[in-house]
Amino acid sequence: MDSITRLNCRYGDDKEFAGCSIFGMMNLQGKRFSSKDPIRAISNMHERGNGLGGGFAVYGLYPEHADDYAFHIMYLSREAKRKTDKLLNESFEVVYDEEIPTKKANVRDPPKVWRYFVKPNVKKLSTKAADDYVLEKVMRINTETGKAFVFSSGKNMGVFKGVGFPEDVAEFFCLEEYEGYMWVCHGRFPTNTPGWWGGAHPFNILDWTVVHNGELSSYGINRRYLEMYGYKCTMQTDTEVLAYAFDLLMRRQKMPIDIVSQIVAAPFWDEIDGLEPGEARVLKALRQTYGSLLMNGPFSVVVAHHAEMIGLTDRIKLRPLSAGTRGDFLYLSSEESAIRLVSPTLDRSWNPRGGEPVVGRLETSKVVEVMAK
C-alpha cells in the first residue's frame, strides 16, 4: 500500500483535501444538451478553485455505443498503455478505441487519454455480474502499472478531468463537441503540487460519478471498511470513498437513495430515539451496521448515475448547496449565482436541508426532495 500511496501523493499526506465548487445540470426528459451552460456555471465559481483541478462527467455521451462500457483511461507512460491494452484485450472484446481528441489549452502537463468501447468477453453474464467483472478489472488497471488510471468505466457516459481551471479543461477536451442529458462539473482547490491528473474530480466507478466539496474526517475508517469489500483506495481523495460507498450500497446492496442518505448522513441518536418505534428500529439498525460508512466532516456532493442525479450535504450542513428547477431542468450548485447565470429565472429555488437528498429522476421526470420526518 505504501508504494501506491507515495506514488499518488509524494508528501505522504494521509489524503488530499480540497476546497471546491460543484455543479450539476440534468434534463429530466433525457433530452441532450450542450456543454455551454455547465461550463459557464462552473467557471463563474472561479473563486472557489485555484486552477489546479477541473472536471466534467457527461451522461448520454455515446448513444452509438450505448451497450458498451466506455473506458476513459489516462496514461503516464507507453509501457503502462501497452500493459493495459494487453489486460483489456484479455478480459474484454474491444469494439473500438482511440485517443480522445484534445486541443491546446491552459492545462498542465497533460497525459495521454484514450477511450475504449468494450464488452466483457465472458458469455452470458447478468448485468450485476458484468458490472462486478468490470469493477474488478478497473481496480486491477489502477493498481497494476501505477501509471495508468481509469477516469470512467460506465456505459454511455464519460469523465473528462485534469489539472487546470474547469473552463480550460473543457477547452482541452473539446467539450463543445459533446452533448449529454446530465452534466456534473467540478472546480478544485488542492494543495499538492500540480501534476496528478487522476486526483481531479469527478471521481467515477462504473456509471457512478461523484463530485465533492469538503473533507471527510472519517476517511480513515470509511476506507478500511470499503477495503473489506474489495475496493482499493488508490486515488487518495475522500471522493473515491464516497463513490465506492454509493456503489456498494446502491448498486450491490440495492438500497434506495433515501436509505443510503440515512447511512451516509445519519441522523443523531436523540432524533432516532424520538421517532415511532418501527422507524426508529430501522434507523438504529442502519447505524449499528453501517456506522463505519457514516461520513463525518463537511461535505456537499452531487452523485450521479444513469437516470438519477442526487445532491446531498452532511447532516449539520457545513457546506453550501443550492437547488433550482426550471421547466425540465434540475440544477444543483455550490453557489446559487452560478445557477442564476445560466437560468436567471427559476420555477423553484431553494437550499436543501442538511442530510436530506435532492433527487432528479429520469423515469418519473420529477424532482424528489426527501424530507426527514
- By beta-carbon proximity to other proteins, the closer residue of 247 and 335 is 335
> Is 20 tagged catalytic?
yes
Evaluate whether 330 touches 360 at the Cβ level (below 8 Å): yes
Query: Residue 109 interacts with other proteins (CB under 8 A)?
Result: no
Query: Residue 142 interacts with other proteins (CB under 8 A)?
Result: no
Query: Residue 317 interacts with other proteins (CB under 8 A)?
Result: yes
Query: Residue 318 interacts with other proteins (CB under 8 A)?
Result: yes
Query: Residue 229 interacts with other proteins (CB under 8 A)?
Result: no
Q: C-beta of 180: minimal distance to other proteins in Å? A: 24
Q: How far is CA 101 from the centre of its chain?
A: 22
Query: Residue 320 interacts with other proteins (CB under 8 A)?
Result: yes
- By beta-carbon proximity to other proteins, the closer residue of 39 and 58 is 39
> For residue 48, how many C-alpha atoms fall within 13 Å in the half-sphere facing its CB?
26
Query: Residue 37 interacts with other proteins (CB under 8 A)?
Result: no
Query: Residue 305 interacts with other proteins (CB under 8 A)?
Result: no
Q: C-beta of 318: minimal distance to other proteins in Å? A: 5
Query: Residue 8 interacts with other proteins (CB under 8 A)?
Result: no
Instruction: Name the active-site residue from 20, 174, 185, 233.
Output: 20
CA distance 97 to 171: 22
Q: Scan residues 326-365 and list those touching other proteins (CB under 8 A).
A: 335-338, 340-341, 349-351, 353-354
- By beta-carbon proximity to other proteins, the closer residue of 48 and 201 is 48
- By beta-carbon proximity to other proteins, the closer residue of 157 and 330 is 330
Question: Which of 8, 27, 35, 44 is in the footprint of other proteins by CB under 8 A?
Answer: 44
**Structure-block grid coordinates of residue 62:** 455515446
Task: Give the total of residues touching other proteins (CB under 8 A).
Answer: 39
- By beta-carbon proximity to other proteins, the closer residue of 45 and 301 is 45
- By beta-carbon proximity to other proteins, the closer residue of 18 and 73 is 18
CA distance 103 to 171: 7
Question: Which of 214, 311, 357, 360 is in the footprint of other proteins by CB under 8 A?
Answer: 214
Query: Residue 219 interacts with other proteins (CB under 8 A)?
Result: no
Query: Residue 275 interacts with other proteins (CB under 8 A)?
Result: no
CA distance 298 to 174: 33
Question: Which of 29, 47, 229, 253 is in the footprint of other proteins by CB under 8 A?
Answer: 47
Question: Which of 24, 37, 48, 149 is in the footprint of other proteins by CB under 8 A?
Answer: 48
- By beta-carbon proximity to other proteins, the closer residue of 200 and 248 is 200
Question: Which of 26, 35, 37, 49 is in the footprint of other proteins by CB under 8 A?
Answer: 49
Residues that bind other proteins (CB under 8 A): 11, 13-14, 17-21, 44-45, 47-50, 189, 191-193, 213-215, 298, 316-320, 322, 335-338, 340-341, 349-351, 353-354
Q: Catalytic residue positions?
A: 20
